[in-house]
């Protein structure tokens, strides 16, 4: 009799371990609602950038991904943000910064074209370094626009994670990008 009671208690404990408390569920639903509201506001505010294909905004399960194409952001082979990009990033920051609860990851990517002598003479010897400089500049600009410094990070991935083939000019253009991922704090 005691073995079966112990077994029942063990099975009940295992089943309960997989359950989520109402509070955690409610918090998850609240975070999801906040992300959805930001997603809707971003799409509404950034309509011209999305229409011109300079920006893509994607709603993911627990995040929002904003992909900025390099033609909007940087001059060829450079990492200084263009004035047009500053305008667009300022709009994004104005939406995210006022009540920021979500972490922002700024990820830089390049195509597979090797670094040329002009960039190498400036200390940029790999695509990873170039992508890091680009991500850092976007992050610093976002901070200057009110995004909380402790809630944003930058990482350069170089030519890793291409979204298109590097065999065509169009594919290379798609791979040269910066992505902002806005993720709820627990993700």
Q: Which CATH number fits the domain that encloses residue 137? A: 3.30.1330.60
Band (110; pLDDT cuts 50, 70, 90): very high
Whole-structure pTM value? 0.81
Residue 7 lies in a domain: no
| Number of independent structural domains in the chain | 1
For the cut 60, the answer to whether the pLDDT of residue 115 exceeds it is: yes
Report the pLDDT value the prediction gives residue 11, as an integer from 0 to 100. 59
Q: Which residue's structure tokens are 């990820």? A: 107
Per mean pLDDT, which range of 63-67, 92-96, 182-186 is the poorest?
A: 182-186
Instruction: Average the pLDDT over 142-147 and give the result.
Output: 97
Q: Left (φ > 0), alpha (ψ -120 to 50) or beta: where does 158 sit?
A: left
Q: Is the pLDDT of residue 16 over 60?
A: no
Tell me the C-alpha to C-alpha distance, in Å, between residue 149 and each of 77, 102, 143, 181.
27, 12, 6, 15
Residue spans of beta strands (DSSP E) within the chain: 55-59, 63-69, 103-109, 152-156, 177-183
**Closest listed residue to residue 77, CA positions, set 47, 119, 44, 43:** 119
Examine residue 20 and state whether it is found in any structural domain, yes or no: no
Higher pLDDT, 119 or 16: 119
Whether residue 162 is contained in a domain is answered as: yes
- pLDDT value at residue 64: 92
pLDDT in tens, 18-73: 666 777 777 777 878 888 888 888 888 888 888 777 789 999 888 999 998 877 78
82 within domain boundaries: yes
- Please report whether residue 39 resides in a domain: yes
In a domain, 140, yes or no: yes
Residue 148, in any domain of the structure? yes
């Amino acid at each position: 009799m005691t073995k079966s009671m112990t077994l029942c208690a063990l099975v009940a404990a295992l089943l309960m371990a997989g359950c989520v408390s109402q509070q955690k569920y409610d918090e998850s639903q609240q975070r999801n609602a906040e992300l959805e509201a930001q997603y809707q506001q971003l799409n509404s505010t950034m309509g011209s950038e999305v229409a011109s294909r300079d920006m893509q905004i994607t709603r993911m399960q627990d995040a929002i991904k904003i992909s900025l194409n390099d033609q909007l952001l940087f001059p060829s082979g450079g990492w200084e943000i263009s004035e047009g990009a500053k305008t667009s990033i300022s709009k994004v920051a104005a939406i995210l910064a006022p009540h920021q609860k979500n972490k922002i990851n700024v990820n830089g990517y390049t195509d597979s074209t090797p670094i040329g002598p002009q960039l190498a003479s400036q200390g940029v010897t790999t695509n990873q370094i170039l992508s890091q400089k680009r991500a850092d500049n976007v992050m610093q600009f976002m901070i200057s626009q009110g995004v909380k410094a402790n809630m944003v990070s930058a990482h350069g991935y170089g030519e890793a994670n291409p979204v298109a083939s590097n065999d065509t000019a169009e594919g290379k253009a798609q791979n040269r990008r910066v992505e902002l991922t806005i993720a709820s704090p627990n993700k």
